[in-house]
Amino acid sequence: MLPIYLSFKEMWRNKGRFLLFSLVIALITVLVLFIAALADGLGNGNREYIEKLNGDLIVYKSDVALSITASQLGREKLLEVSRVPGVTDAGQVSFSSTVVRYQGAKELNVSLIGVGAGKPGEPPVVQGRGLQDRQAKEAIIDRNVALTTGLRVGDNLTIKSIQGAKEKLYTLQVVGISDGRQFFLQPSVIVPDLTFEQIKPGAVPTGNESDLISNIIVVRLQHPSQWKQMESVLASQVSGIQAVDKVTAYENTPGYAAQQSTLSTQQFFSLLIGVLVIGGFFQIQMLQKVPQIGMLKAVGASSPVIALSALAQIVMVTVIGVAIGTAATLLMALTFPATIPIVFSPMAIVLGVVSILLIGPLGGLVSIRYALRVEPLTALGLSS
Amino acid sequence: MANSLETKAVTKIYQTDTGVTRAVDSVTLAVQNGEFVALVGPSGSGKTSLLAMLATLLSPNEGEIIIAGQSLMEMSDRERTRFRREKIGFTFQANNLVSYLTAMENVELMLRLNGKYDRAGRERARELLARLGLGDRLNNLPRQLSGGQQQRVAIARALIHNPALVLADEPTASLDTERAYQVVQTFANLIHEQNRVGIMVTHDLRMTAFADRVVQMMDGKIRRVIDNHEEITGFSRGTLSSAPPSEPRAPRLVPRLAPS
Ligand SMILES: Nc1ncnc2c1ncn2[C@@H]1O[C@H](COP(=O)(O)OP(=O)(O)OP(=O)(O)O)[C@@H](O)[C@H]1O
Ligand SMILES: [Mg+2]
């Protein structure tokens, strides 16, 4: 009780100073939380489609270093992969980038994804129905496209795509809406594979499905838990391919790893700066209090009382700062337009808050150690 | 009457690169309850070192110290800390008070440290502060009090928990003469009334006027002890014929500044 009494009185009688410092911690909190939200937002925009795929393994052409764009797999690879024992289903998936035109002349950049109707790679819909025909002029749009364009099931969707040197417009019908399926930081339009062949930018349609070339093949396994063994089984039974799990797949999308490590480095340094700032503040304050601590020890305050009151103070200042910072972050997040790639996942907020709550006492440890070393003899102006 | 304080041939030796100092050299002293002792002597004569040993803050190299029937020699560090907060009251030359606690809270702190903070204790703290002329200053922070007022708060703090021994290190160093007299007089009166042992280190010989005994130190040894009232009065006025020439004759008028 006494340590809390002392630390509370000290803060109360020096409100300005401690509040100011809580605000500094609040700023660090805002910084850390925003970097985490940005990392989540950007990361999600890059990996969402792959992360949510309804399959267990992703098959690439071998020797392309898991580059989706460089990977080219023909129809015959799909058939070979499908025949491997343990594979229950497989679907070709192709990616391109194009533009949706909506509400007159407004345009939205989207990822255009070609999938086999009803095959792995096609997302489940939350509204409407799935794709039914490989040639049909129909599409599933993801939640983000739906939100931005206002398109609903049954509406017509206009795709603008460059063919040769000219822009061409294609009209598809929205048959279903899926949850968020961003890819390459763009919302997605999912179309049947043969339709994809016709409308993708720079299309050279053959109309012949046996020539259909995709970027990857999504494989569903009989025993998903055995994905590790199946990676090598597939590679040994089908020539010229490489199979990896989804995490490996999205970690190898261009820029993903670099982006995430940049952001986590930033986060690490924000926390490090936090430790140094908090540590510095309490240490400076401790230096000023040395004579007073010597006096307190001389009149009989025990080391635990001294240490706990210092700790209680650090904890209180940090908690107040983190609370202000978290509240401010969430308020700011409300005012952000939806197009900014910021995602506040509860997990990331908890992690950020907890790490700052931990670095507070960590930063203060030096000053507590220092306080414990002050000799009561100094109260009499002596040293041992 | 019981002797609350006894030292037997207490010796403190400092060893440094430049040599060995016998800062306190075989000091034997017995002080009765209700007795107020002034410890004087030239700079470096060992006053503070002796006080620090009585305060359990410094261990003697030789000899024995017994306070309130307990020998300090066998105590562990934790026991010493506990002993200090229960049995000893302190006033220091500077940095006496906790800067963020009011006068009242500073006094109550000794009760809180001892787990004896209650309504009766609070009432006693209030009375003690009123007695020291601070009845209207209870809720002032130290920075809102003058040096003399701060010393008086420290005196209340030194007495509130009924210690056996009260140690005062140069309590008047930062006060002007008038205030210094007031502070020491009230201090002496309280020691007498409450029947405690009071030891005051002072440079200012005039302050010995309120002491029951003056112990004069020199080179770590007790040079002489004056316990006759008339002689003490003479000593404090600087008219005692055998006053040692090394003592400053003229009372110090300029207050020594406390390190801030
Ligand atoms: N930590 C130490 N190490 C070595 N010598 C010390 C130490 N502390 C004190 N001394 C020496 O011990 C002697 C007594 O010092 P002490 O401080 O007890 O004297 P004092 O009577 O209080 O002096 P003053 O009136 O100046 O305060 C002095 O010679 C001093 O230099
Ligand atoms: Mg001294």
CA B43 to ligand 1 centroid distance, Å: 8
Inside any domain, residue A250: no
Q: How many structural domains is chain A composed of?
A: 2
Task: Name the token pair of B94.
Answer: 């500077």
What pLDDT was estimated at residue B255?
A: 43
Looking at the fold, whether A97 and A168 belong to one and the same domain comes out as: yes
Residues A364-370 have a mean pLDDT of: 89
- Answer yes or no: is A344 within a domain: yes
pLDDT per residue of chain B (260 residues) written in tens, 0 to 9: 467 899 999 999 999 888 899 999 999 999 999 999 999 999 989 999 999 999 999 999 999 999 988 888 888 989 999 999 999 999 998 888 999 999 999 999 999 999 999 999 999 999 999 988 899 999 999 999 988 899 999 999 999 999 999 999 988 877 788 888 888 998 899 999 999 999 999 988 888 999 999 999 999 999 999 988 888 888 888 876 554 544 444 444 444 444 44
Mutate to test the interface with A, among B100, B105, B200 (most CBs of A within 10 A): B100
Q: What are phi and psi of A226, to 5 degrees?
A: -95, 25
Residue A52 forms part of a structural domain: no
Check if A294 contacts B (Cβ < 8 Å): yes
Ligand 1-lining residues (CB < 6 angstroms): A 382-383; B 14, 16, 21, 23, 41, 43-49
CB atoms within 10 A of CB B255: 16
Q: What mean pLDDT do residues A29-48 have?
A: 87
Cβ-nearest to B48 among A14, A305, A381: A381
Q: Does a structural domain hold residue A251? A: no
Last residue of some domain: A213, A244, A275?
Answer: A244
User: Which ligand 1 atom minimizes the distance to the CA of B51?
Assistant: 18
Q: What is the pLDDT of residue B248?
A: 46
Look up the ipTM and state it.
Answer: 0.88
What is the DSSP annotation of A209-259?
Answer: GGG--BSEEEEEESSGGGHHHHHHHHHHHSTTEEEE-HHHHHHTSTTHHHH
Q: Are residues A129 and A234 in the same domain?
A: yes
- The reply to whether A249 falls in a domain is no
Looking at residue A241, what is its pLDDT? 92
Could you tell me where the DSSP H helices lie in chain A?
Answer: 2-13, 15-51, 75-83, 143-149, 193-199, 227-237, 246-251, 256-298, 303-335, 346-373
Higher model confidence: residue A381 or residue A59? Answer: A59
Last residue of a domain, one of A211, A244, A277: A244
The predicted structure's pLDDT at residue B251: 44
Residue A195 lies in a domain: yes
pLDDT at A282: 87
Contact flag A295-B85 (C-beta cutoff 8 Å): no
- What is the average pLDDT score of chain A? 90
Q: Write out residues 343-382 of A within 8 Å (CB-CB) of B.
A: 376-377, 379-382
Instruction: Specify if A303 maps to a domain.
Output: yes
Q: B46 alpha carbon to ligand 1 midpoint, in Å?
A: 6
DSSP reduced 3-state for A309: helix
Say yes or no: A96 and A203 in one domain: yes
Q: Write out chain B residues lying below 8 Å of A291, CB-based.
A: 94-95
Write down the pLDDT at residue B260.
41
Tell me, in angstroms, the distance from the centre of ligand 1 to residue B14's CA. Answer: 9
Interface size A-B, in CB pairs within 8 Å, comes to 81
Q: Quick one: which ligand is closest to B46's CA?
A: 1
**Do residues A41 and A62 both lie within one domain?**
no
Per-residue confidence band for A209, with pLDDT thresholds at 50, 70 and 90: low
Same domain, A354 and A286: yes
A274 and A226 co-located in one domain: no
- A138 and A158 co-located in one domain: yes
Chain segment A284-319, per-residue pLDDT in tens: 988 998 999 999 999 999 999 999 999 999 999 999
Residue A384 lies in a domain: no
Same domain, A226 and A362: no
Domain's final residue, options A244, A279, A302: A244
**Is B113's CB within 8 Å of A305's CB?**
yes
pLDDT tens, position by position, A343-355: 888 888 898 899 8
Q: Are residues A201 and A276 in the same domain?
A: no
- In this predicted structure, which of A40-54, A137-151, A167-181, A206-220 has the lowest mean pLDDT? A206-220
Question: What pLDDT, in 10s, does the model give residues A98-128?
Answer: 999 998 889 999 999 999 999 999 999 999 9
In this complex, do B81 and A297 lie within 8 Å of one another by their Cβ atoms? yes
pLDDT at B246: 47
Residue A379: the pLDDT is: 87
Can you tell me the distance from the alpha carbon of A29 to that of A357, in angstroms, rounded to the nearest whole number?
A: 10
> Which ligand 1 atom sits closest to the C-alpha of A383?
1
User: A56, A88 in Cβ contact below 8 A?
Assistant: no
pLDDT at res. A285: 87
Q: Quick check: B58 and A298 CB within 8 A?
A: no
- Closest atom of ligand 1 to CA, residue B24: 14
Kindly state whether residues A220 and A315 are assigned to the same domain.
Answer: no
Which pLDDT score is estimated for A57? 93
Give the whole-angstrom CA distance, residue A285 versus residue A294. Answer: 15
Return the pLDDT at B247: 46
Domain coverage including residue A278: 2-46+256-379
Q: What burial letters (b/e) apply to A39-57, b meaning 16+ CB within 10 Å?
A: bbbbbbbbbbbbebbebbb
Mean pLDDT calculated for residue range A231-249 = 91
What distance lies between CA A114 and its chain's CA centroid? 25
Which of B78, B84, B259 is closest, CB to CB, to A298? B84
* CB contact (8 A) between residue A299 and residue B100: no
Ligand 1 center to B217 CA (angstroms):
12
Longest dimension (CA), chain B: 55
A146 and A276 co-located in one domain: no
By DSSP bridging, strand B36-40 and strand B62-67 are: unpaired
Q: Are residues A200 and A282 in the same domain?
A: no
pLDDT tier for residue A202 given thresholds of 50, 70 and 90: confident
Retrieve residue A284's tokens.
Answer: 């400076």
Question: Cα(A187)–Cα(A145) distance, rounded to whole angstroms?
Answer: 6
Residues A196, A131: Cα–Cα separation, whole Å: 13
In the block, tokens 């597939």 appear at: A234
Structural domains in chain B, sorted by start? 3-93+159-237 (3.40.50.300)
